[in-house]
Structure 1
């Protein structure tokens, strides 16, 4: 904390009011309660002077370096799923790559063995369907004998993805399939083949028989080997105060695409990082895993 304009600001940040009388020239302040002076690289303290000093230092270091410095990584606006590699991606596990992290620049994965309910939230054209497709294809490649079910109340590109066990399009068909899947839970155990249920445009299924059945899948799916991936519009999720969408939020496991950082963290009961340098093109957002937050870009095939 450098010199403050008002004495009360020291107290608000945890320092005693007495430090307000201290002489604090430019660059002098307090670090963890200890008075400290920021170092400079050159006698000229201006921004231009420091920039020139950094340039001279870089030139000297380059003369003594056998290899060039590593390039600064940049998170691209397209990530190919085929290029993602991670030791956590292994046959037989319900762990799928979702994209690349903009923090570690490693593969960002979703562990659906540990937490089999996952929500994808975002506004229109934010990449919700792409995220569902990437995760579903990843699970198909790792979980043997996986039974896959699609609920699509509206038109979606997921319908064209091959090898669904059953597909329901339209509100009535979605309600019927969701009810059949929920009824089947009473007869299943976790020892049987795993089932993946994917719901796109879940905001269309927040009432009626489909909503009741989806609530059962969210609450009881873990005990019967069901993995549930659901996409819901952000503004609908904010207005939900009960039902399966609220249960989906309570899992605190999901993806917030193109988020409004001031408010969308409320969906998971947390505060999103507010960094001006972070962009949110289509497919970019925050991956939340029980309070941990990663900045990721969703991969595509």
Structure 2
């Protein structure tokens, strides 16, 4: 059966159509860089064939070599049968048009904070060139730290993560962007390795998934490290520490941008005295919030 399928698929168009059918039939869960079967199939095929990711039409009717077909079909089957996020199969993820190396030991880069950094946190940052110090807590692959360095050209950025493998991957990404002189990758538990340094902006995509939601995650998300996702019974275990210690690491006019995903109710229940500003993105209007140093001092 496999050989028959292999023989029937001749062109890029054929393989993409086959992938879309397989993905839809398997009812895959998306959300690691795409939100539908077509986009994921196109990316899988173009990436595997080392073709430009933004140029499909000229290649649709190009015939594939036998080895190229085998590579594509192998990834399609892994995606369907193992439910592995495509980013782990290709070893890369794209965020706001920027490529990041990734692997199964680190959460797939996808934070919507990236969208806000692409806008230089406007209007909350009046002059991006005046931002001097940025902290990315729970940096993972280092993607937000790198995007912050690109958004704020005069800033020194510290990128902190507890996991050694995350630190090594983040450093590879920093080196790929040649930002080693501005992005400092540090291993440690939240603020612990930072001493008394204060920041104009702190960005953070922490583990925040509550225990009930963790048990119900689609298979694709279960391939990601639990350490990067699980936030305890109400999802707020690590966030409590991040907020409690945050004011001490912000400049007088500094602020924190924090991702909480689908945990709006749990956040508001855990911090009833806070009145954060929720920042709208293309994905949501209640999954990312902004807190000033003055607000954090009230905790």
TM-score relative to the length of structure 1 = 0.32
The structure with the greater share of residues assigned to helix is 2
Query: More relative contact order in 1 or in 2 (CA 8 Å, sep 6+)?
Result: 1
The structure with the greater share of residues assigned to strand is 1
TM-score relative to the length of structure 2 = 0.32
Which of the two has higher C-alpha Rg?
A: 1
